[in-house]
Amino acid sequence: MQSFQDKVVAITGGGSGIGRETALAFACKGAKVSICDLNEGGGQETLRQIEALGAKGYFTRVDVRHEAEVQDWIRQTISQLGGLHSAVNNAGIDGAVAFTDEYPEESFDQVMDINVKGVWYGMKAQLAHMKNHGGGTIVNIASVAGFMSLPRLIAYVASKHAVIGMTRTAGVEYARFGIRVNAVCPSFTETPMVSHSLDYPGAVLNVEKMAQINPSKRIAQAYEIANAILYLCSDESSYINAHPLVIDGGLSVV
């Protein structure tokens, strides 16, 4: 895969999981990497790992539910690292686990604010810069849940359907500016969020059971999702736009 030498990449939710793996993968390819996260400790650790690879990094604590914070982070990224060429809108949560008629409104609103509005706020700031500076690439983190159902996770499922819709819309709108907007749609991946989503009263799934229902007989590793993100940000995918790329080991077609 091509080098990202001296390219600037901005990643939300870079403090753990897919966000961290993606940040480190870009750093290994020579990119300058800006990350934000609500978890300051996790973000600082990712920054330390970026710099240990010899790459230049930047971190700030951001709550993606607040547009002003996202806009300021992008402005600081451009100021600190010298531009913006690619962005990954990764920050997200799974929310409460409950049947639809019992689902708490507070959790529904929180999931939508982070998973949907957070992605929208990220794209707004990123697109505004890219359309006036020669284009760029954006990858949003959706899920196979954007194509199917996950019982007792109505807010999460709705949010990932929304991310796919926003990705397709923005990809079409901004192609004329040399901007490509795509999404990756992973199935269960070994991350702290997946571990958290299995830790609730009455949980019927665990990692072993999830692996068994997948045709590949395992769940994904975060680096596998990161590799796909780098591909979508590279010139090697130059004619892929407004596309939700499913990465699920074949789960969604069984």
- The catalytic site residues sit at 156
List the one residue out of 89, 61, 103 whose CA is nearest residue 160: 89
Please tell me the distance from the alpha carbon of residue 113 to that of residue 65, in angstroms, as a whole number. Answer: 5
Q: Enumerate residues 6+ apart whose C-beta is below 8 A from 241.
A: 171, 172, 175, 180, 181, 182
Beta bridge partners of residue 88, listed in sequence order? 11, 139
Neighbours of 180 (CB within 10 A): 25
DSSP string, 121-185: HHHHHHHHHHTTTT-EEEEEE--GGGTS--TTBHHHHHHHHHHHHHHHHHHHHHGGGTEEEEEEE
Q: Catalogue the E-assigned strands of the chain.
A: 8-12, 32-37, 57-61, 86-89, 136-141, 179-186, 244-247
Place of tokens 């796909």: 228
